[in-house]
Chain A
Amino acid sequence: MAGYKPAAIQTYPVLGEKITQDTLYWNNYKTPVQIKEFGAVSKVDFSPQPPYNYAVTASSRIHIYGRYSQEPIKTFSRFKDTAYCATFRQDGRLLVAGSEDGGVQLFDISGRAPLRQFEGHTKAVHTVDFTADKYHVVSGADDYTVKLWDIPNSKEILTFKEHSDYVRCGCASKLNPDLFVTGSYDHTVKMFDTRTNKSVISVEHGQPVEGVLLFPSGGLLASAGGRYVKIWDMLKGGQLLVSLKNHHKTVTCLYLSSSGQRLLSGSLDRKVKVYSTTSYKVVHSFDYAASILSLALAHEDETIVVGMTNGILSVKHRKSEAKKDSLPRRRRPAYRTFIKGKNYMKQRDDILINRPSKKHLELYDRDLKNFRISKALDRVLEPSCTVKTPEITVSIIKELNRRGVLANALAGRDEKEISRVLNFLIRNLSQPRFAPVLINAAEIIIDIYLPVIGQSPVVDKKFLLLQGLVEKEIDYQRELLETLGMMDMLFATMTRKESTSVLQHTSDGFLENKKVES
């Protein structure tokens, strides 16, 4: 008939933060490396090509860091004033940056002096980017203009004067060389097409826009401004898809994880939030010491770099996973052993006997199945079980009690074995979730071993410890009851409207009628 039913192991809800794949993934980073820069770190950009160096823009310098270096491997410091938005080209060989004085400078990362200087903006250039064809640079400035520059002959090709306030962020499409997006303090995000020399789509963000991000497909646009992150569907002509309000201060930067599945946003409230790009729910969040201005992830999310207002650059590296497969794997039987005889055709006179599939049972379940009750109890009293999974031990004690054999299982133990049981009781008796089961077990132990008390000093000490614990617990429960009484009185004086609030009675009363003699 029906097979053996394994003993029911009581499960308890895990308190605290839920452990999900995302928390595991995003917590799997080493402790951050802190690098002090000269001023607020306004931009961090990773080179798209190996060895994935990154450029950090802070104050009037641009530092290039290697992956694990704590010192800059290269510095561009020929700026008269603050530099902004140092960005790598797709091949990782050119770097463009804007500056406070309105100039845009193009560097070769092996050189020191700028290759090109694009003059034309009258005010600070806060955003620059390369277009998808690599030969043009887009820049947005505080003079409300957006300009397109040609790199080979360092000329201005187009000027867009559609914004009515500072242009502070921008992003060129990775697919189409003619498209780019800029966000401005006039609360709008505009998409420009260089073929038409005017904006093709304009969306109203509602707050000064601090960051824009085009998704790799180009179909979706994320914009950050104020406390909001908004996602726009560009294929539907700029329809608002979702508005996220998870920060309580201005969101300054956006970044997409390398898989494209997660969107990260950094904010002045010193938090980085990770969103799922399918449901747009926050799946994880990081805390930092200061307000965040810039954020970047390396190839394959190997490194998270965050730049903050206090000039600190925080670099987190992913933990390496090389250690795990160091153990030599046990040799498994070959595939043919498993399919042996499976394709045998039944002959006329053969009688088919089905072997029932074996269900895996835990060791304690195997003992329980064969009514080896003491052995089952011994097994769950092993330190490896009692420390890690006390609920299994308690569940087996409960199961033995249900079978009416708990006294038999606890009886006939020597000094070492009984002290092991007592140790477990001492550790777990006061836990409310285990208390009803363990108090019963403690009573049985006292009943069984009362005649031999005083024969072993070790066990006697344990009993005294248990007694002290129970007395302490009784005092504690009494105090709790007093508190509860006071709270009840307070609630009673309040209006009847509050009467719906539920009082969670703590597990009182268990321990009061408990006699302990040792």
Chain B
Amino acid sequence: MVEEESVRVVRCGGSELNFRRAVFSADSKYIFCVSGDFVKVHSTATEECVHILQGHRNLVTGIQLNPNNHLQLYSCSFDGTIKLWDYIDGILIKTFIVGHKLHAIFTLACAEDSVFVIINKEKPDVFQLVSVKLPKSSSQEIEAKELSFVLDYINQSPKCIAFGNEGEYVAAVRDFYLSVYFFKKKTTSRFTLSSSKNKKHAKNNFTCVACHPKEDCIATGHKDGKIRLWRNFDDGKKYTYTCLHWHHDMVMDLAFSVTGTSLLSGGRESVLVEWRDATEKNKEFLPRLGATIEHISVSPAGDLFCTSHSDNKIIIIHRNLEASAVIQGLVKDSSISTGLMIDPRTKALVLNGKPGHLQFYSLQHDKQLYNLDIIQQEYINDYGLIQIELTKAAFGCYGNWLATVEKRQEKETELDLQMKLWMYNKKTQGFVLNTKINMPHEDHITAVCFCNAEKFENPTLVTASKDGHFKVWILTDDSDIYKKAVGWTCDFVGSYHKYQATNCCFSEDGSLLAVSFEEIVTIWDSETWELKCTFCQRAGNIRHLCFGRLTCSKYLLGATENGILCCWNLLSCALEWSAKLNIRVMEPDPHSENIAAISQSSVGSDLFVFKPSEPRPLYIQKNISREEVQWGVFVLRDVPESFTSEAYQWLNRSQFYFLTKSQSLLTFSTKSPEEKLTPTSKQLLAEESLPTTPFYFILGKHREQQDEKTNEALESERVQLPLTENIPAISELLHTPAHVLPSASFLCSKFVNSLLLSKETKSEEIPEDVDMEEEKESDDSDEENDFTEKTQDTNDTDLGEDIIHQLSKSEEKELRKFRKVDYSWLTVL
């Protein structure tokens, strides 16, 4: 049934939420944030994503509320358009085509029909603030080419532009100067700080600017952590400034509260500082926000703040400096050294998160599930500090165990390694630290792998290290009569001629362990830990090692640094085949024999899918990404696809995700991202505009369905997805506490109806035009329960009528023929 579309590389979630300041709706119920090519609307109370505003073709670079209608939202993008949205319904109202690459957007209440945008001129880093007149027109797409120049030579970041005192002036900062443009006088004043030549003021650079909402006061943030408050700047000579200094590193963003009584600032310290009455004494702190504060914004109602952080997170904070909600995307700021893993329990993607944490990220919902604190130490956010890094992680025994390795290396000789083993606790539904091993090896650990075979009831872990050893760790029972305890101990240490161990891998049944020592692959018996055999191809160090699976379990694959892929047969202990391929990523599919390999060339990365039993690849896709691909992982699909073409069969049961060097998460799909949203979530989106009570789900849906009968376009979509659509309604009914439900007799008919409706729509499909008439005829019956049965009955009669009708037609024809023949014959006679 699925058409043979070409498989494309699709970006799947995990875009930056912290790229620009988030914006609150006027009633503080919603918060908007840019997310790649989309704008996301989140509820401030529940953190849930309510809408995704899709339509831009490139990165969205700015969002602002329409000052004249606070139910509308402007967004601008690199694709050169400004779009106006109705965020409550998630509908695109208008598109203004500007033509230039837009870097930011600003709106002013006094400038009714124009907005301000930052564009760049011919030179790459010369930016201008221009005002764009938005023409009034009823059409959907409008050209807006009327630009008027406001300020030149500004910083591209919207943090460096601020409009003050109800739009009387605009302040812009860049490098060492602050320029203020007065709209009424149409003049620009420029204030310069002592420049970098003076060593004392070397870090005087402006980083951000904010304007007081009521008074003539501009606050600027600086690279050395100072905040300056400028006054009397309408006079070029008599201007004054006062200094506030708490931050020890760059001030990343500033914001005034709505009334202007307090100023908020944040930076690398990840502490939100509230300066009351603009004095140095009165300050309040909200410490330990987790990561560098990138942006601060304030809701128009004044009751909420929000901070965007470098770890792709937005924290919503109450007026009394109490964090109330966290919107967390895929954390991408640290380098991914653990690789991509799948948690066998939650099916979540697991990788490095914020420093010292492992993040569990749901691929289906593009949402972080939770963070597991691995390092469990106070994070000191300081530039140039050598932090403890989480380098390796592995899941074992169906998600019951998690092994993590962390390291801190200050100098060449001082290496601090720690391995931690975490046990899944069913009661608390989380991982609990079981064993901590200091210095498990004397040098860097290169690979960690669990034995996942079923026959091993005793969990086994193998670590390979650059110190030339690999160690086997087993779970031992440590309990006595006083307490029950299990812990991990070293069972075996193996080495091969003091070569560095680079990879390790268990076979599918757990009977063999393959460890690669530089160029040599060694095979060990996992029962006795005896060396069985060695393979050596003299083709460079082994970079990847994996066993074949299922029917191909007799093969062992190794990819070397010199660009050779080798396949050894374990039965004959001989090389089966080899191919010249510079492999960066090699991932076996855990549910089939397929192995995906991504090779790197000067042009880009290519994907090869093959089975170890034959050297011919099943599928090749050239140029999946221009960048280097760093990690890949197979994920089992929830619903298997059915590609009939042989080339795509590897995608039937699993999906392949990969991560590039710039840390964008990509996958292969035939569908566009809009289609990827499941119908249930789509339905939820449409209904979010009304207050969503359980009653609404049951009663409102029914009303909607009646309305939809007329709407044919929706109808057809409905027909495609029959049963699933009613699931939210039913589950909502079942999950609502009994004491808030109306009487059962009232709900019963609706509920039964909602169960039956899917069938109705199916049957409706065939006699669409006749149906309307039939309904008119059966108008006297109001009972909803009978409705579906009736339509089915009428269907039957319909068909019957049809047959009769057709029969009569053919008969008529026949008769006519007869008649003709008869007549001719008669005439001849």
Contact = CB atoms under 8 A, between A and B. Distances in A.
B388 A402 contact: yes
B290 A2 contact: yes
Contacts of B384: 404
Interface in A347-402: 353, 368-369, 399, 401-402
Nearest to B379: A5
Contacts of A369: 378
A369 B493 CA distance: 41
Given A278-B481, A502-B493, A4 B378 contact: yes
B290 A283 contact: no
Contacts of A500: 492, 529
A20 interface: yes
Contacts of A117: none
Contacts of B378: 4-7, 368-369
Contacts of B290: 1-2
A500 B289 CA distance: 50
B interface: dominant SS: loop
A402 B377 contact: yes
B482 A7 contact: no
Interface in A436-495: 436, 440
Which of B286, B315, B482 has the most chain A CB within a 10 Å cutoff?
B482
Interface in B22-78: none
Nearest to B388: A402
B480 interface: yes
B380 A5 contact: no
Contacts of A513: 413
A9 to B, nearest CB: 11
A440 B377 contact: no
A431 to B, nearest CB: 14
Interface string B468-479: 000000000000
Contacts of B2: none
A281 interface: yes
Nearest to A12: B438
Contact of A402 (B286, B287, B288, B408): B408
A104 to B, nearest CB: 42
A404 B289 contact: no
A90 to B, nearest CB: 32
Interface string A491-518: 0000000001010010000000100000
Contacts of B385: 403-404
A10 interface: yes
A3 interface: yes
Contacts of B408: 402
A5 B315 contact: no
A202 interface: no
A3 B288 contact: yes
Which of B323, B384, B416, B529 has the most chain A CB within a 10 Å cutoff?
B416
B382 A283 contact: no
A8 interface: yes
Contact of B323 (A1, A5, A436): A1
A309 interface: no
B376 A4 contact: no
Contacts of B388: 402
B414 interface: yes
Interface in A1-58: 1-8, 10, 20-21
Contacts of A281: 480-481
A112 B484 CA distance: 56
Nearest to A18: B480
B438 A10 contact: yes
B382 to A, nearest CB: 7
A404 B414 CA distance: 15
A402 B380 contact: yes
Nearest to B323: A1
A60 interface: no
Interface residues of B, number: 30
A423 interface: no
A277 B286 CA distance: 57
A1 B380 contact: no
Interface residues of A, number: 30
Given A278-B481, A402-B388, A5 B493 contact: no
Interface in B340-378: 376-378
A110 interface: no
Given A402-B380, A500-B529, A1 B481 contact: no
A368 B529 CA distance: 47
Interface in B440-466: 442
A283 B481 contact: yes
B529 A440 contact: no
Contacts of B492: 500
A10 B382 CA distance: 24
Nearest to A353: B320
A270 B480 CA distance: 26
Given A404-B385, A502-B493, A5 B414 contact: no
A310 interface: no
Contact of A8 (B286, B376, B380): B376
Contact of A404 (B323, B380, B416, B481): B380
A196 interface: no
A5 B357 CA distance: 14
A455 to B, nearest CB: 30
Interface string A260-302: 0000000000000000101101010000000000000000000
Nearest to A10: B438
Contact of B482 (A1, A6, A21, A403): A21
A368 B378 CA distance: 10
A267 B144 CA distance: 103
B482 A20 contact: yes
Nearest to B378: A5
Given A8-B377, A402-B377, A1 B529 contact: no
B480 A403 contact: no
A3 B376 CA distance: 11
Nearest to B493: A502
Contacts of A368: 378
A404 B386 CA distance: 8
A27 B315 CA distance: 57
Given A278-B481, A402-B408, A440-B414, A5 B382 contact: no
A187 to B, nearest CB: 31
A401 B289 CA distance: 23
A1 B315 contact: yes
Nearest to A501: B493
Contacts of B482: 20-21
B430 to A, nearest CB: 15
Nearest to A6: B378
B493 A279 contact: no
Contacts of B416: 436
Contacts of A402: 377, 380, 388, 408
A283 B378 CA distance: 41
Given A1-B290, A8-B376, A276 B481 contact: yes
Nearest to B469: A502
B295 to A, nearest CB: 17
A333 to B, nearest CB: 29
Interface of A: 1-8, 10, 20-21, 276, 278-279, 281, 283, 353, 368-369, 399, 401-404, 436, 440, 500, 502, 505, 513
21 contacts: A1-B287, A2-B288, A2-B290, A5-B376, A6-B378, A7-B377, A10-B438, A20-B480, A278-B481, A283-B481, A353-B320, A368-B378, A401-B410, A402-B408, A403-B385, A404-B380, A404-B385, A404-B386, A436-B414, A500-B492, A502-B493
List the 5 closest A-B pairs by CB distance, nearest first. Answer: A5-B378, A404-B385, A279-B481, A1-B288, A403-B380
Interface of B: 286-290, 315, 320, 323, 376-378, 380, 382, 384-386, 388, 408, 410, 413-414, 416, 438, 442, 480-482, 492-493, 529
Given A1-B289, A436-B414, 19 more contacts: A1-B288, A3-B288, A4-B288, A7-B377, A7-B378, A8-B376, A8-B377, A10-B438, A281-B480, A368-B378, A402-B388, A403-B380, A403-B385, A404-B380, A404-B382, A404-B384, A404-B386, A500-B492, A500-B529
